[in-house]
Amino acid sequence: MPKIPVRVVSWQEIVDWSYGLAERIIDSGYRVDVIIAIARGGLVPSRILADRLGVVDVISLKVEHWVQTASRNPEARIKYPYSVDLSGKNVLIVDDIADTGDSLILAKDYAKRNFNPKEIRTATLQVITQTTKYVPDYYYLEVKDWAWFMYPWNYWEDVINLVKKLKDSGVNIKNLEELKRAYVDSYGSHPPIDLNIIIDEMKRRGEF
Ligand code: ADP
């Protein structure tokens, strides 16, 4: 059975961490003109930061990574490339977490080459110092021991992927009690959505 540390993050934590991150940006004196949200992980933090910082212009870059829940893969690319003129603008690139750092490295390099901004800085809610190749200019929480953070905008996708991993390792997912035990044993936390509801959703999606 897989052993992956999973930590469930609440909506309230996301708001608190985003506000905390905003304070650090404010304290540094950096005046942000445009936020670039890395999709999808940076979308919610970007919107909260925009509100707190008073930023009207929020755009997005879709970084594609062949990442399945709780596994890591450094392959990253811009899925829908485009150009826009951001000359004279102070830009802030935002993501949820720097794990490998690949998404941020890629997005920063892409924005520099294609958007022509005055300055680019980067921000994430969390940074895993053990694994990242790149430390963002601003972050709120430093993670010492690697874990999979189950963000509230990803509950369904993550729990489904984690159940699939159990299935692949031979757990009988039709037996709900066995599934629940295996889930907690493998991931060290309880699923934020009942597993019987998850199974129904997997059936609806044709993934059961
Ligand atoms: P980066 O390290 O720049 O964030 P990754 O390719 O490692 O790039 O991660 C891409 C995305 O995958 C992250 O923005 C996040 O949404 C998700 N992700 C990666 N690692 C984790 C993790 N440990 N916990 C939760 N989500 C993660």
Domain endpoint, select from 106, 121, 150: 150
**Among 99, 105, 128, 153, which is best to mutate for testing ligand 1, by the most ligand atoms less than 8 A from CB?**
99
Q: Is the CB–ligand 1 distance for residue 99 below 6 Å?
A: yes
pLDDT given at position 67: 55
Atom number, ligand 1, closest to the C-alpha of residue 102:
3
Same domain, yes or no: 121 and 190: no
- Summarised one tens digit per residue, pLDDT across range 32-80 is 999 999 999 999 999 999 999 999 999 999 999 865 556 655 578 999 9
Q: Which protein residue's CA is at the shortest distance from atom 22 of ligand 1?
A: 148
Same domain, yes or no: 27 and 60: yes
- Distance from the alpha carbon of residue 161 to the mean position of ligand 1, in angstroms: 15
- Summarised one tens digit per residue, pLDDT across range 182-207 is 999 999 999 999 999 999 999 999 99
Residue 52 sits in a domain of what CATH number? 3.40.50.2020
Same domain, yes or no: 86 and 181: no
Query: What distance in Å separates the CA atoms of residue 70 and residue 76, rounded to the nearest whole number?
Result: 16
- Distance from the alpha carbon of residue 174 to the mean position of ligand 1, in angstroms: 30
Same domain, yes or no: 69 and 145: yes
Task: Specify if 90 maps to a domain.
Answer: yes
Same domain, yes or no: 57 and 142: yes
Q: Is the CB–ligand 1 distance for residue 136 below 6 Å?
A: no
Same domain, yes or no: 30 and 101: yes
Task: Specify if 1 maps to a domain.
Answer: no
Q: Which protein residue's CA is at the shortest distance from atom 25 of ligand 1?
A: 149
Task: Specify if 41 maps to a domain.
Answer: yes
Query: For the chain, how many structural domains are there in total?
Result: 2
Q: Is the CB–ligand 1 distance for residue 139 below 6 Å?
A: no
Query: What distance in Å separates the CA atoms of residue 101 and residue 131, rounded to the nearest whole number?
Result: 8
Residue 165 pLDDT greater than 60, yes or no: yes
Beta bridge partners of 97: 126
Same domain, yes or no: 86 and 113: yes
- Distance from the alpha carbon of residue 167 to the mean position of ligand 1, in angstroms: 23
Q: Between the CA atoms of 197, 198, 201 and 206, what dihedral angle is there, to the nearest 10 degrees?
A: -140
Same domain, yes or no: 34 and 112: yes
With CA atoms as reference, report the closest residue to 45 among 98, 84, 105, 114: 98
Same domain, yes or no: 133 and 197: no
Q: Which domain holds residue 79?
A: 6-150
Task: Specify if 42 maps to a domain.
Answer: yes
Average pLDDT estimate for 123-135: 97
Q: Is the CB–ligand 1 distance for residue 158 below 6 Å?
A: no
- The position carrying tokens 């811009």 is 78
Q: Between the CA atoms of 157, 159, 162 and 166, what dihedral angle is there, to the nearest 10 degrees?
A: -130
Residue 74 has, within 13 A of its CA and on its CB side, a CA count of 8
Same domain, yes or no: 39 and 92: yes
Task: Specify if 160 maps to a domain.
Answer: yes
- Distance from the alpha carbon of residue 88 to the mean position of ligand 1, in angstroms: 30
Q: Could you give the strand order of the β-sheet that contains 34-39, starting from the edge strand earlier in sequence?
A: 76-78, 57-65, 34-39, 90-98, 119-128, 138-143
Query: What distance in Å separates the CA atoms of residue 128 and residue 141, rounded to the nearest whole number?
Result: 9
- Distance from the alpha carbon of residue 114 to the mean position of ligand 1, in angstroms: 24
Same domain, yes or no: 186 and 145: no
Chain mean pLDDT for the chain: 95
Same domain, yes or no: 145 and 170: no
Please tell me the pTM assigned to this model: 0.94
Q: How far is CA 98 from the centre of its chain?
A: 8
Task: Specify if 208 maps to a domain.
Answer: no
Average pLDDT estimate for 6-24: 98
Average pLDDT estimate for 7-17: 98
